[in-house]
A and B are shown apart, each in its own frame.
Chain A
Amino acid sequence: EDQVTQSPEALRLQEGESSSLNCSYTVSGLRGLFWYRQDPGKGPEFLFTLYSAGEEKEKERLKATLTKKESFLHITAPKPEDSATYLCAVHFSGTASKLTFGTGTRLQVTL
């Protein structure tokens, strides 16, 4: 069964302390990998799409990278407003249009 695993489950950083979140997936044919941000009580907000190994995308303090079996979301010099749950989702081959989500990484950035 296609699976998406995220680590760590939770991460606490001080403002300015850079780190990375990991998303690994069963290699059964990747059509796309997606990163979302979710604030409490709200729906996920789209951040990035990655389609092939070696691809990178950046937005402000966030950078997403993709290899053949995992993706990283790098957070550079985070600020308190970056605190949220970050979700990874994969569109696997043969699954029409659905995305399979991981359980997310809860990020807290403190002053």
Chain B
Amino acid sequence: DTGVSQDPRHKITKRGQNVTFRCDPISEHNRLYWYRQTLGQGPEFLTYFQNEAQLEKSRLLSDRFSAERPKGSFSTLEIQRTEQGDSAMYLCASSSTGNYGYTFGSGTRLTVV
């Protein structure tokens, strides 16, 4: 068990570019979550998967954001036409059904310049 892995750790992109992040959850966990955290704030919920099904999305997840979890394994979060307001730490977490003590990854820090 190597924990939750996120790639890349850091991403700097120009405004208007598309970016994609990857998350590899703990293998036996069927639930996967994406959160966003800005400086001095707690993580904010973006979306949640149970296996390959995306079951809940936050209002924060605008049309420019899309997440997938093909085959219920790894997940990707794509942001299209990035804006400076998208700069944040994007956190992935996983858990098993009925256990809400998530295991978080170390996050991907996105800077939009």
Where the two chains meet, the residues of A that have a C-beta atom closer than 8 Å to any C-beta of B are 4, 31-32, 34, 36, 41-46, 49, 87, 89, 91, 96-104
8 closest residue pairs by CB, A with B: A101-B42, A43-B104, A98-B45, A46-B101, A96-B56, A44-B104, A101-B43, A43-B106
B21 is an interface residue with CB less than 8 A from chain A:
no
CA A44 – CA B100 in complex, angstroms?
13
Identify the B interface with A (CB < 8 A).
Answer: 4, 31, 33, 40-45, 48, 50, 55-56, 58, 91, 93, 100-107, 109
Majority-rule SS of A interface residues: strand
User: What residues on B are CB-neighbors of A41 within 8 Å?
Assistant: 106, 109
- Number of residue pairs across A and B with beta carbons under 8 Å? 61
Q: Which of B42, B91, B102 contacts A104 (CB 8 A)?
A: B42
Q: Are A103 and B40 in contact (CB under 8 A)?
A: yes
Q: Which residues of B contact A46 (CB under 8 A)?
A: 101-104
- Apart from A49-B101, A99-B45, 7 more pairs, CB < 8 Å: A43-B104, A43-B106, A45-B104, A46-B104, A97-B48, A98-B58, A100-B45
